[in-house]
Structure 1
Amino acid sequence: MTAQLEYPDIQDSDALLSVQGLWKVFGPKAQRVPHRPELAGLDRADLYAKTGCTAAVRDLSFDVAPGEVFVVMGLSGSGKSTLVRCLTRLIEPTAGRLVFEGEDLRAADEKRLRALRRSKFSMVFQHFGLLPHRKVIDNVSYGLEIRGESKPDRRRRAQEVIDLVGLAGNEHLYPEQLSGGMQQRVGLARALANDPDVLLFDEPFSALDPLIRREMQTEVVRLHREVGKTMVFITHDLSEALKLGDRILLMRDGAAVQLGTGDELVGAPADDYVREFVRDVQRADVLTLRWIARRPRDGEPLDGPELGPDVLVREATRLVLEADRPVKVVSNGTLLGVIGDEEILAVVADN
């Protein structure tokens, strides 16, 4: 691995947030690591042995589109939580560029950063960080109070997002009177109250029990559908990543292993690490028909039912197995391929 120190012009990019060659190195003389190829190419153990430094984020580049749910996934120590804090410079990057709406965030001074964090970004943490002496409505409106908005305006906005996240009727309770799931809803409402452009989630549901966790995942899906916010979501849970993410960045030892949609990670893993990571996934619930369609055989009838390429294998199984001829996979009037019992059963049986 070598340091990436020259970046393309992104003025015409459609990305809301662009990360280019981002490094975060902890340790003495950290700045030298990204700039010296003989150090940048060392693995974690060798880098530490040679320099006393640890590269928590290594040469990461990706774009986040407006309205996208971008999931960063990895095991403990992969660098994902450091990355999300680098995005708003809560942790100062060592090298690379952060560009938000065309603005170089690394060039922003402290006053500008505070303004951006108050108006453009909101963060939801694993530990709720609620103020115990404040009622729900006052916790939710806290950011608006810091921003200097009038009490009537912040109460009105707080009530709107309290209703949105399903907390109506709990406005005047204190955090200690709420369950873990309800406390996290307060944290989510507080993040939404500022009407940010980007919501940053750092493993927000990992401390919740499985049932409440699934409920909160569904809540995020619903909220995204209703308000359309851009989201960067950090998790170590593959099922959570597949449920929430439009695209998923899988990290290992601070570096990117693979970036793609959920079906791309499952259907075309980049290496053995990704392959092992997705080994237990129910492939029929993730793969779409585009992954298993084949060319029609000579003389094969092409008058069977039609399905789109983005239909999940699970959703197509009954139709394919009940059809007396291959099912056509068609996109915008173009035949992409056909699917029969053999293709469907190969995926279903693999589960």
Structure 2
Amino acid sequence: MEINEEQETQIEVKNLYKIFGSRPGKALQMLKTGQSKKDIFEKTAQTVGLNKVSFKVYKGEIFVLMGLSGCGKSTLLRCLNRLIDPTEGNIIINGSDIVEMNDEEIREFRRRQIGMIFQNFALLPHRSVIDNVAFGLEIQGMDLETRHKKASEALKLVGLDGHETSMPDQLSGGMKQRVGLARALASDAEILLMDEAFSALDPLIRRDMQDELIDLQQRLNKTVIFVTHDLDEALKIGNRIALMKDGKIIQVGTSEEILMNPSNEYVERFVADVDMTRVLVAQDVMKKADPVISCRSGPRLAARLMKEYGISSLFVVTQYRLLKGIVMIDDVVEAVKRDHTTLEEIIITDIPHILVNTPLAEIIPIIADSKYPLPVVDEDTKLKGIIVRGSVLSALARKESEPLVV
């Protein structure tokens, strides 16, 4: 999912503070004058949980809160459904400030608009799978037949149809987490809050659940706020990432923005050991395919373009820029000598091509074995750019630079 400023903002947090302790007012005043979290605790015994946190979450994105233990990410997540009441600030969700809601309004908000998925699954051990999934609907007062129907549909979405009558102690860890996810989906909430949801799972199951979440979000267009301390997990699933420290958000951005342009030394150290080939994708390293030639053109135009741009190959496209293939300089020169008027006989169509979201780790062996520049296309095979060996090396070497796409 590409992020742009015209997208609908679903959640907006403004100047949010949370002080834990019996005298939050004094600590808040000290915080606003620039005193540190450590100094405030030593002088007041009050703990700063959140410090002037502001950010936006767009409808349909996976927004990741991450940082080391104690940075405030779980506190922030719990403020988003008022399981923790903030000390000061605004949390505007779907146009309403939930900080201003009374007890009944916040209960209704939780039932209808937001779903929570916990690290420890939070399943009721005496209830079957389907009744665990339907529990929230039962709280809403929905009749048994309707809530079981909705719960069955949610279980099917997460691949657990057929396990309706199983008990939680009969399930693996991954299956339990799927039940928790199905429970959140059954309420048809637009927003899912996930607190270290996959941390307790084995690595293989964890990766499967990450893939499952990405697939579900693409199909259902849910807005997901995901808390993790695992940078690799954040980079894999997040459309954008908010990196936190000492209750503050240090930087918000896409994976590439944070990796390639860290805002300070802390962020730079945090991401220093990331394998860039697992993060960058084709659209991050491709160059503009310029020039290209229409399949209706002839070899003389191809020869002129090659001479003008100092290149030895040209990608051939249709009127709508769909990729047809490539022509090479030796074949073009021979076609001109033979007085050919079309490119049809010299177009090489059997060439590798990749999609714009192909990971760099998969691109490297392809381009290493290819005799040609590597065309990048969308799902309709429309040519979007090209990758050459030099652009890959440049992407891996750069720390702070402009995007490669021109």
- Identify the TM-score tier after normalising by the shorter chain: 0.7 to 0.9
Judged with a 3 Å threshold, the aligned counterparts in structure 2 of structure 1 residues 35 and 327 are, in CA distance, closer, same or farther, namely farther
Judged with a 3 Å threshold, the aligned counterparts in structure 2 of structure 1 residues 348 and 33 are, in CA distance, closer, same or farther, namely same
Are 1:16 and 2:18 an aligned pair?
A: no
Are 1:145 and 2:138 an aligned pair?
A: yes
Counterpart for residue 25 of structure 1? 19
Does the aligned pair in 2 maintain the 1:302–1:326 contact within 8 Å?
no
The Cα of 1:240 is off from its aligned counterpart by 0.9
- TM-score if structure 2 supplies the norm length? 0.74
Judged with a 3 Å threshold, the aligned counterparts in structure 2 of structure 1 residues 304 and 57 are, in CA distance, closer, same or farther, namely farther
The Cα of 1:85 is off from its aligned counterpart by 0.3
Residues in 1 aligned to 2:253 and 2:197: alpha-carbon distance in whole angstroms: 22
The Cα of 1:313 is off from its aligned counterpart by 3.4
The Cα of 1:18 is off from its aligned counterpart by 0.6
Kindly tell me the number of residue pairs found equivalent between the two proteins: 334
Does the aligned pair in 2 maintain the 1:25–1:56 contact within 8 Å?
yes
Counterpart for residue 6 of structure 1? none
SS state of the match for residue 147, structure 2?
helix
Does the aligned pair in 1 maintain the 2:7–2:59 contact within 8 Å?
no
Identity %: 43
Residues in 1 aligned to 2:215 and 2:116: alpha-carbon distance in whole angstroms: 18
Counterpart for residue 281 of structure 1? 274
Q: 2:240 aligns with which of 233, 237, 247?
A: 247
Judged with a 3 Å threshold, the aligned counterparts in structure 2 of structure 1 residues 37 and 170 are, in CA distance, closer, same or farther, namely closer
Judged with a 3 Å threshold, the aligned counterparts in structure 2 of structure 1 residues 168 and 289 are, in CA distance, closer, same or farther, namely closer
Residues in 2 aligned to 1:202 and 1:301: alpha-carbon distance in whole angstroms: 52
- TM-score if structure 1 supplies the norm length? 0.85
Q: 1:342 aligns with which of 386, 390, 394?
A: 390
Does the aligned pair in 2 maintain the 1:31–1:95 contact within 8 Å?
no
The Cα of 1:37 is off from its aligned counterpart by 5.8
Residues in 1 aligned to 2:15 and 2:120: alpha-carbon distance in whole angstroms: 30
RMSD of aligned residue pairs (Cα, Å):
3.0
SS state of the match for residue 249, structure 2?
strand
Q: Which amino acid aligns with 1:204?
A: A
Residues in 1 aligned to 2:356 and 2:220: alpha-carbon distance in whole angstroms: 27
Are 1:211 and 2:204 an aligned pair?
A: yes
**What is the 5 A alignment of 1:123-162?**
123-162=116-155
**What is the 5 A alignment of 1:1-351?**
14-36=8-30, 39=33, 41-288=34-281, 300-301=310-311, 304=314, 312-317=359-364, 320-321=367-368, 340-347=388-395
Residues in 1 aligned to 2:95 and 2:312: alpha-carbon distance in whole angstroms: 49
SS state of the match for residue 166, structure 1?
coil
Judged with a 3 Å threshold, the aligned counterparts in structure 2 of structure 1 residues 265 and 151 are, in CA distance, closer, same or farther, namely same
Counterpart for residue 9 of structure 1? none
Judged with a 3 Å threshold, the aligned counterparts in structure 2 of structure 1 residues 192 and 300 are, in CA distance, closer, same or farther, namely same
Stretches of structure 2 that go unaligned for 5 or more consecutive residues are 1-5, 291-307, 316-322, 324-353, 399-406
Alignment deviations for residues 155-180 of structure 1 (CA, whole Å, 9 cap, x no partner): 11111111111111211111111111
